[in-house]
Amino acid sequence: MARKNLLAGLLDEKLPAGNSAVAPQPASPTQPIQGMQSSAFGPRGGAIGAVTRSIEQLKAHAVLDLATDVIDASLIADRLADTGDDHKLLVASIREHGQQVPILVRPHPDHEGRYQIAYGRRRLRALKELGQTVRAIVKPLSNEQLVVAQGQENSARTDLSFIEKALFAARLEEGGFDRETIMAALSVDKSGLSRLISSAVRIPNDIIEAIGPAPKAGRDRWIELSARLDGAAAIEKARKAMAAAQFSTLSSDERFSKIFEGAAPKKAKAVRPTIWRSDDGLRIASIRDDPKALTVTIDKKVAADFGAYLVETIPEIYAAFKRRAGA
């Protein structure tokens, strides 16, 4: 092996699987390392230059063991609180096998000696509960790089629900990030981003928080819920369902179902048709008059010719109606 490749393996960004469905791929450092610089030994070329540049790159995104209490939340929250079985399983996995995948943090832009998390919040929470230090990749990231890394890592995971993605998108937009950055963070196109943001905006935040992530609800049902909650009366019905005695004991998906059903529009009462009979007692037609339409149904078994005649003379009947209305 050539000496210039001695440290190639040290710079491999791929992380081992474990404690997480997908091993995250950290974003590029904010400032690229300058490769050819002068020093007391001359230009940094050849094997010595390769070693020097490799060490500089390792420093730019070092893997450190950090105390959990020096790591602050990300700029934008991307998950709803969940204390269910998934969290317990993660704690048990880390207790037994240790932390398999580092989280990603950046040096805090405002507080010396502190860090800000990009992704790995669930791992951080589990390690804090266990009283252990957290293994973290430390990289200098701009705000845009932070949210893109955070969003892309979560988009690759199967346990981030639709509404969590929707809330993340809406919060990014409220935070002043442009839509190009948000699309990159969530790996969605313009129409997909619009659906996410509109769903999060149309559903009141207290209702979303009460439901939780509801991972089994899926995109279509969340979008349908946002449509059902279009109005004060529907929102009041949803909040009434939230106030039920057993609501808080239900799982997140069960809470979604309760509110989804509670916000359902009332079914219109079926209008019984009026039967019109001829002078000789034949059942010629049924007439259904509801708020949206007036429907006349001719029984073709009894009066097929009359039906054809009625269709043929509709223009004439309408013209007679207009003349009468004008008079």
Percent of the chain with pLDDT over 70: 77
First vs last C-alpha separation in the chain: 103
- Distance, CA of 187 to CA of 27 (rounded, Å): 14
Q: Residues 17-22: contacts with CB within 8 Å, 24+ apart?
A: 17/100, 17/101, 18/93, 18/97, 18/100, 18/101, 19/90, 19/93, 19/94, 19/97, 19/99, 19/100, 19/101, 19/123, 20/100, 20/101, 20/123, 20/157, 21/157, 21/158, 21/159, 22/153, 22/156, 22/157
Question: For the chain, where are the E strands, in sequence order?
Answer: 62-66, 71-72, 103-107, 115-119, 134-138, 274-277, 283-289, 294-298
pLDDT tens-digit profile of 158-216?
A: 567 888 888 888 888 888 888 888 888 888 889 888 989 988 888 998 999 899 888 88
In this prediction, residue 47 has a pLDDT band, given cuts at 50, 70 and 90, of low
CB 28, CB 19: distance < 8 Å: no
What average pLDDT is seen over the chain? 78
pLDDT at 23 > cutoff 80: no
pLDDT at 50 > cutoff 60: no
- Distance, CA of 162 to CA of 174 (rounded, Å): 18
Which residue in the block uniquely carries the two structure tokens 């699309």?
183
pLDDT tens-digit profile of 72-101?
A: 988 777 777 655 667 788 888 899 889 888
pLDDT tens-digit profile of 273-299?
A: 888 888 888 888 888 887 778 889 998
Q: CA torsion, points 300, 304, 306, 307, in degrees to nearest 10?
A: 60
117: left (phi over 0), alpha (psi -120 to 50) or beta: beta
- Between residues 170 and 9, which one has the greater pLDDT? 170
